[in-house]
């Protein structure tokens, strides 16, 4: 029994745990009607950790070549013990992570957490969402099935539509002129090395910024307590918020485990570069809105090709959204609250409506 | 004099450092750009026997590493088009029900002359020549 304090003292001397405890004791989280939305950042992080763990397990059997990729995933799903579950958890977790990241992003918008001085936190978060979509796009090809093959053809061909440099971007992504073995190897490299490296760096920056500026409280909550002449209630991050966050992770794990076990992720049919695109083909849900938009744009808009107009539209929309913290205040520093709320509502309406239409039509 | 020397050293150090960074990045950038791999130029391929494809049917044949859609029309004519949709690169298919060429990805529709009928494709499909030699169907590039 006397061992424990001695062991602790040994670690204390080497790690300086007391300063960490002191630091955690001072960190607080605002308590108000919207506090529950704070959990989604942590849930996204938790699901990313699940991705890393299950992805590492899949790496033990996966082979990134057109002749072996599909068969190796089939082997994982049919011969490796719990292989079907590990792959299903990886696929479901990827989807839930992107959903959680979207919820986190919109909660930041509606709670106005992007306001000065948190512009860089917003930008790093948006870049992380972009990387998450990159993970989704690159990982989608790895099983080398028909749907993923055509999704990659369409996705990389959209890049080719960028005026001037499009051809080079498409060639860089594909590793050649068309989607093939070189693309699969390249996407595997992006998926398991380049994107995880970039994500880790950005994630550290994002968390450091959250740490530096603290957790933002919405203006309405601050004003409510200003009227009451009371300080906004806070809860200690450790252990109060941390334990609640753990419960949220546990709930997320329950949802993930249920989905993965009850609805195992399918493998589909092996890709055949000389087969036509099958009827009813569609991308993952998070690319459905641009997919359906591209279906609606006519072949030509005035003198421009429809796909170029679509690409330009998506680019401008993305730029407008990324720049949100900079147009959310006017030159006098007054917040454009209605504009921001309207933009958020419109974007959610566009994404949900077009995704639903893309799924069912 | 001292200031000028310091300034010169700063420029030399900064310039040398920048040049060394560029010398590391340039090969890495070139490494990532896929090399042009010359492909054997194919001008014609055998697409099988005449009796293999009935009227009002189509199938994809390999033209080197390109997919080509061979169609035997209900009027008995033979047509061949690039099977790559001009919209976003998906592979098209022949629809027997409407005798049209259809892209499942974004619902692009072409007629049997390769012209766009509806949907987002911006250009017609490239046409290939089809010749019958004995009982063999031969698809070739148009001159």
Q: How far apart are CA B22 and CA B29, in angstroms?
A: 10
List all residues of chain B from 63 to 82 with a beta carbon under 8 Å from chain A.
Answer: 65, 67
Residues B87 and B96: beta-carbon distance below 8 Å? no
List all residues of chain A from 92 to 151 with a beta carbon under 8 Å from chain B.
Answer: 150
Mean pLDDT taken over chain B? 93
Q: What percent of chain B has pLDDT over 70?
A: 100
Give the model confidence (pLDDT) of B68-103 as tens digits: 999 999 999 999 999 999 999 999 999 999 999 999
**Residue carrying structure tokens 């002129």:** A177
Give the model confidence (pLDDT) of B109-132 as tens digits: 999 999 999 999 999 999 999 999
Contact status of A294 with chain B (Cβ, < 8 Å):
yes
Give the minimum alpha-carbon distance from B6 to chain A in angstroms, rounded to a whole number: 35
The confidence score (pLDDT) of residue A279 equals: 87
Contact status of A68 with chain B (Cβ, < 8 Å):
no
Which of B82, B88, B93 is the best residue to mutate to test the A interface, defined by the most A CB atoms within 10 Å of its own CB?
A: B88
Give the minimum alpha-carbon distance from A181 to chain B in angstroms, rounded to a whole number: 12
Confirm whether the ipTM is greater than 0.90: no
The confidence score (pLDDT) of residue A345 equals: 97
Residues B61 and B139: beta-carbon distance below 8 Å? yes
The confidence score (pLDDT) of residue A129 equals: 98
A307: nearest CB among B65, B90, B122: B122
Tokens matching residue A46: 């938790």
Per the CB < 8 Å rule, is A277 touching B93?
Answer: yes
Q: Where are the alpha helices (DSSP H) in chain B?
A: 2-32
The confidence score (pLDDT) of residue A8 equals: 86
Give the minimum alpha-carbon distance from B87 to chain A in angstroms, rounded to a whole number: 7
The confidence score (pLDDT) of residue A303 equals: 87
Q: What is the mean pLDDT of residues B35-43?
A: 80
The confidence score (pLDDT) of residue A3 equals: 57
Residues A270 and A145: beta-carbon distance below 8 Å? yes
The confidence score (pLDDT) of residue B109 equals: 96
The confidence score (pLDDT) of residue B68 equals: 96
Contact status of B117 with chain A (Cβ, < 8 Å):
no
B105: nearest CB among A154, A156, A172: A154
B105: nearest CB among A160, A281, A300: A281
State in Å, rounded, how far the first CA of chain A is from the last one.
68
Residues A350 and A296: beta-carbon distance below 8 Å? no
Query: What is the mean pLDDT for each group of 10 consecutive residues in chain A (361 residues)?
Result: 75 87 87 95 97 96 96 96 96 98 98 94 98 97 96 91 90 93 96 97 96 92 92 92 96 97 96 91 92 91 88 95 94 89 96 94 80
A299: nearest CB among B33, B34, B122: B122
The confidence score (pLDDT) of residue A19 equals: 85
Residues A122 and A107: beta-carbon distance below 8 Å? no
Per the CB < 8 Å rule, is A150 touching B90?
Answer: yes
Collect all residues of chain A within an 8 Å Cβ-Cβ radius of residue B87.
Answer: 294, 299, 306-307
Beta bridge partners of B61: B68
Contacts across the A-B interface (CB distance below 8 Å): 82
Instruction: Give yes or no for a cis peptide into A117 (omega within 30° of 0).
Output: yes
The confidence score (pLDDT) of residue A192 equals: 97
B32: nearest CB among A172, A280, A305: A172
């Amino acid at each position: 029994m006397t061992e424990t304090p001695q062991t602790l003292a040994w670690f204390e001397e080497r790690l300086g745990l007391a300063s960490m405890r002191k630091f955690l004791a001072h960190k607080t989280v605002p308590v108000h009607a919207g506090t529950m939305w704070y959990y989604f950042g942590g849930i996204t992080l938790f699901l990313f950790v699940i991705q890393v763990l299950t992805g590492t397990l899949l790496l033990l059997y996966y082979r990134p070549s057109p002749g072996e990729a599909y068969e190796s995933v089939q082997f994982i799903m049919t011969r490796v013990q719990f292989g079907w579950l590990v792959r299903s958890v990886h696929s479901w977790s990827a989807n839930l992570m992107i959903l959680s990241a979207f919820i986190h992003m919109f909660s930041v918008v509606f709670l106005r957490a992007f306001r000065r001085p948190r512009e860089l936190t917003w930008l790093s978060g948006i870049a992380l969402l972009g990387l998450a979509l990159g993970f989704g796009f690159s990982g989608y090809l790895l099983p080398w099935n028909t749907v993923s093959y055509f999704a990659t053809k369409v996705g990389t061909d959209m890049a080719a539509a960028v005026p001037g440099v499009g051809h080079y971007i498409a060639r860089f992504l594909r590793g050649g002129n068309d989607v093939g073995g070189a693309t699969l190897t390249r996407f595997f490299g992006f998926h398991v090395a380049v994107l995880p490296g970039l994500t880790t760096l950005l994630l550290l920056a994002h968390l450091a910024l959250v740490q530096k500026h603290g957790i933002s409280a919405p203006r309405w909550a601050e004003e409510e307590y200003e009227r009451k002449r009371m300080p906004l209630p806070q809860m200690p991050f450790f252990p109060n918020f941390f334990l609640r966050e753990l419960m949220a992770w546990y709930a997320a794990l329950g949802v993930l485990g249920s989905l993965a076990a009850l609805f195992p992720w399918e493998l589909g049919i092996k890709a055949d570069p000389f087969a036509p695109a099958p009827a009813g083909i569609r991308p993952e849900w998070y690319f459905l809105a641009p997919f359906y938009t591209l279906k609606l744009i006519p072949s030509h808009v005035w003198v421009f090709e429809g796909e170029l107009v679509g690409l330009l539209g998506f680019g401008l929309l993305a730029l407008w959204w990324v720049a949100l913290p900079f147009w959310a205040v006017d030159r006098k520093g007054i917040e454009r609250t209605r504009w921001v709320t309207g933009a958020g509502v419109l974007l959610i309406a566009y994404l949900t409506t077009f995704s639903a239409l893309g799924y069912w039509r | 004099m001292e200031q000028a020397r310091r300034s010169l050293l700063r420029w030399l150090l900064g310039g040398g450092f920048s040049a060394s960074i560029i010398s590391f990045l340039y090969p890495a950038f070139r490494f990532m750009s896929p090399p042009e791999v010359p492909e054997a130029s194919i001008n014609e391929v055998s697409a099988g026997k005449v009796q293999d494809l009935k009227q009002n049917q189509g199938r994809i044949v390999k033209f080197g590493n390109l997919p080509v859609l061979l169609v035997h029309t209900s009027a008995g004519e033979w047509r061949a088009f690039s099977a790559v949709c001009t919209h976003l690169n998906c592979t098209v298919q022949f629809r027997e029900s409407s005798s049209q060429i259809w892209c499942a990805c974004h619902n692009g529709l072409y007629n049997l002359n390769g012209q766009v009928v509806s949907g987002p494709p911006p250009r017609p499909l490239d046409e290939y020549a089809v010749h019958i030699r004995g009982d063999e169907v031969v698809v070739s590039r148009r001159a």
